[in-house]
Amino acid sequence: MATYSTIAVTFALGIIIGFVLMQPPKLLFSTKECDAKDVEVVTNDVSQALTNAWKLACGSTGRSVFKLTTNNSTVGPLTFDGPCKATKMVVNVVGDVIAIPKASWPDNSADAWIKFTKVQNLEIFGRGKFIGNGKSGWWKCKNSKINTCENNPTALAFHNCNNLNLIGVTSIDSPRNHITINHCNGTTISNINLIAYGMSPNTDGIDISDTNGVHINGGHIGTGDDCIAINGGSFNINITGLNCGPGHGISIGSLGRNSATEEVSNIMVMGATFTDTQNGVRIKTVPGGSGSASHITFSNIGMTRVQNPILLTQFYCPHVDPKDCKNKPQMVKISDVTFSDIHGTSATSNAINITCSPNKDSCVGITLRNINITPNTAIATCKNAVDVHLIGNVTPYVKCTRGADVIEMPLDHDDYNESQRAIATS
Ligand SMILES: *[C@@H]1O[C@H](CO)[C@@H](O)[C@H](O)[C@H]1NC(C)=O
Ligand SMILES: *[C@@H]1O[C@H](CO)[C@@H](O)[C@H](O)[C@H]1NC(C)=O
Ligand SMILES: *[C@@H]1O[C@H](CO)[C@@H](O)[C@H](O)[C@H]1NC(C)=O
Ligand SMILES: *[C@@H]1O[C@H](CO)[C@@H](O)[C@H](O)[C@H]1NC(C)=O
Ligand SMILES: *[C@@H]1O[C@H](CO)[C@@H](O)[C@H](O)[C@H]1NC(C)=O
Ligand SMILES: *[C@@H]1O[C@H](CO)[C@@H](O)[C@H](O)[C@H]1NC(C)=O
C-alpha cells in the first residue's frame, strides 16, 4: 500500500484546502503598494518555500503530492531535482505560476524556467497555468545577424525521466520552448494547451530529443514556432488528435545540423488538424549530416490554409547562406515514410514538396495514399525520391524527377508574420 505524504507537504506549504475555502488567503502584499524591490524579496521567499516543499515531498516515501502554488507572486527559475525517495511524484498546479519579468532574471540565466531533473514517475496536473511572461522582453531577442532567442529559457524542461505524465497542462507565453523532453523513457502528454500569440520567436510547443516512447494525445498548440519538434535520438513517438496552429506545424528534425549523426524512427502522427500554419507535416535534414529518419507515418490529417502542407527536405539550412546549402556526400537518409488520408487547403500554390539529395538511397520508400489538397492550382514537386508509391487518389498528382539542381531556400524563419497571425487568431 502506498504511503501518502500529502498531509505533511500540504502542512509545510501552509495551504490547507479547508482553510482556503473558509477564508481566502491574504495576498503577501498589496500589488498597488509594492515597488519592484519588494517583489524581488517576495519572489525569493516563494522560490525558497517551493524548493523546501519540493525537498520534503521528494524525500518522503510512497506517492507524494506536491502542491505548486506561488500565492500570486511571480517566480524566477525553479529547479525540482530527483531522484526522489517517493515512488510517485504528483504535482498539483493549484494556481497560476507566473514568471518574473526578464529584467529581474538572475544574470547567470538558467536554460529553463521550471526544470525537473531525474524525477521518476512524475505526474503534473491541476487548473493552474504556467505563464512564462515571454512578452516581458524575451521576444525582443532578434537582430539581423544572430538569433539570440535560442538562449532564452524553456518554460518547462524535463530531463532524465521515466514515466512522465502531463495531464491538461497549460503554458502561455513561454520565453522560448514551452516544453522540452530530453533523455526520457515513457512519456504521456494529454490535452496539452500551449499558447504564445504575438511576436514570439523560437517558442516551440513540445521539443523532444534523445527520448524513447512518447504519446501526445489531444489538445491545442498555437505558438510562433513548431507545434512539435522531434529531434535526434527520438524513437516510438505517437501523436494523436492534436490541433496545431498558428505556428510552423509538426516537424521531424532538423536532423544532421553541424554534420551530426542523428537517428529517429517509429514516429506516427495519427489524426491532427493544422490551421494557418507555415507548414503542416515536415521532415527536414541538413546537408552534411548522417544517420537516418525511418518508419514515419502521417495519417488522417486536416489542413486549413497551410502554406506548405506536406514538406520533406534534405536541404534545410536556415543557419547558412542559401548559396552554401549544397548537396554534400553525406546526408541523413530518409526511408519508409507514409503520408495517408491528408485533406484540406493550401495557402500557397505548393501542396507537396519532396526534395531529396541526388545521392544514392537518400530517400527510399515514400508512400502517398488518399491525398486531396486544394486549390486545384496547388502543385506537387518531388525530387530524387525512389520507390515512391501513390495509392488511391493523390491530388495534386506527384511525379518524381531526378536531378542535382536543388537548393532549398530557408523556409523556416523565426520571423513571424504579425498580420498572418492576427488573421489566424481572430
Ligand atoms: C503561501 O502563503 C501561505 C500563507 O501566507 C504561506 O504559509 C505559504 O508558505 C506560502 N507559500 C509559498 C510557496 O510561498
Ligand atoms: C490569486 O489571485 C486570484 C485572482 O485575483 C484570486 O482569486 C486567488 O484567490 C489568489 N490566490 C491566492 C493563493 O492568493
Ligand atoms: C531509458 O531506457 C534506456 C534503455 O533501457 C536506459 O539506458 C536509460 O538509462 C533510460 N533512461 C532513464 C532516464 O532512465
Ligand atoms: C504507438 O502506436 C502504436 C500503434 O498503435 C503502438 O503499437 C505503440 O505501442 C504506440 N507507442 C506509444 C509510445 O504510444
Ligand atoms: C520546393 O522545394 C524546393 C527546393 O527544395 C524549392 O526550391 C521550391 O521552391 C519548392 N517548391 C515550391 C513549389 O514551393
Ligand atoms: C504575411 O502574411 C500576409 C497574409 O498571409 C501576407 O499578405 C504578407 O505578405 C506576409 N508578409 C510577410 C513579410 O511574409
In tens, the pLDDT along 353-368 reads 999 999 999 999 999 9
* CB of 24 sitting under 6 A from ligand 2: yes
Residue nearest ligand 2's atom 12 by CA? 71
Residue 316, pLDDT > 70, answer yes
Residue 423 grid cell:
488573421
Q: CA 87, CA 107: separation in Å to the nearest integer?
A: 35
Q: Whose CA is closest to 128, among 155, 161, 93?
A: 93
DSSP-based three-state secondary structure for 205 = coil
Task: Name the burial class of residue 386, with classes exposed (0-12), middle (13-18) and buried (19+) by CB atoms within 10 angstroms of its CB.
Answer: middle
Residue 290 grid cell:
548522417
Residue 3, pLDDT > 80, answer no
Amino acid at 61: T
Tell me, in angstroms, the distance from the centre of ligand 2 to residue 127's CA: 13
| 24: Cβ contacts below 8 Å, ≥ 6 apart | none
Tell me, in angstroms, the distance from the centre of ligand 1 to residue 375's CA: 57
Q: Whose CA is closest to 74, among 40, 114, 51, 115?
A: 40
* CB of 313 sitting under 6 A from ligand 5: yes
Q: Indicate the average pLDDT of the chain.
A: 86
pTM of the prediction? Answer: 0.85
Residue nearest ligand 2's atom 13 by CA? 71
**Higher pLDDT residue, 390 or 109?**
390
- The dihedrals phi and psi of 133, each to the nearest 5 degrees, come to 60, 30
389 labelled catalytic: no
* CB of 417 sitting under 6 A from ligand 3: no
Ligand 3 pocket, mutate which of 158, 159, 185, 210 (most atoms under 8 A from CB): 185
Q: Count CA atoms closer than 13 A to 48's CA, side-chain side.
A: 6
pLDDT band at 148 (very low <50, low <70, confident <90, very high): confident
* CB of 320 sitting under 6 A from ligand 2: no
Residue 232 grid cell:
535526434
Residue 185 grid cell:
523513457
Q: Could you tell me if 250 and 271 are in contact, meaning their C-beta atoms sit under 8 angstroms apart?
A: no
**Residues within 6 Å of ligand 4 by CB:** 213, 215, 236, 238, 268
Ligand 5 pocket, mutate which of 311, 331, 381, 399 (most atoms under 8 A from CB): 381
Q: What is the pLDDT of residues 49-68, one digit of tens each?
A: 999 999 999 999 999 999 99
Ligand 2 atom with the smallest distance to the CA of 27 is 14
Number of C-beta neighbours around residue 1 at 10 A = 5
Instruction: Look at residue 198 in the predicted model and tell me its pLDDT.
Output: 64
Residue 411, pLDDT > 60, answer no
Instruction: Look at residue 139 in the predicted model and tell me its pLDDT.
Output: 84
Catalytic residue among 183, 248, 319, 343: 248
What's the whole-number mean pLDDT along residues 185-203? 89
Residue 90, pLDDT > 90, answer yes
Q: CA 67, CA 139: separation in Å to the nearest integer?
A: 30
| 288: Cβ contacts below 8 Å, ≥ 6 apart | 256, 259, 328, 330, 331
Q: CA 90, CA 121: separation in Å to the nearest integer?
A: 8
Tell me, in angstroms, the distance from the centre of ligand 6 to residue 351's CA: 18
State what percent of residues in the chain have pLDDT above 90. Answer: 70
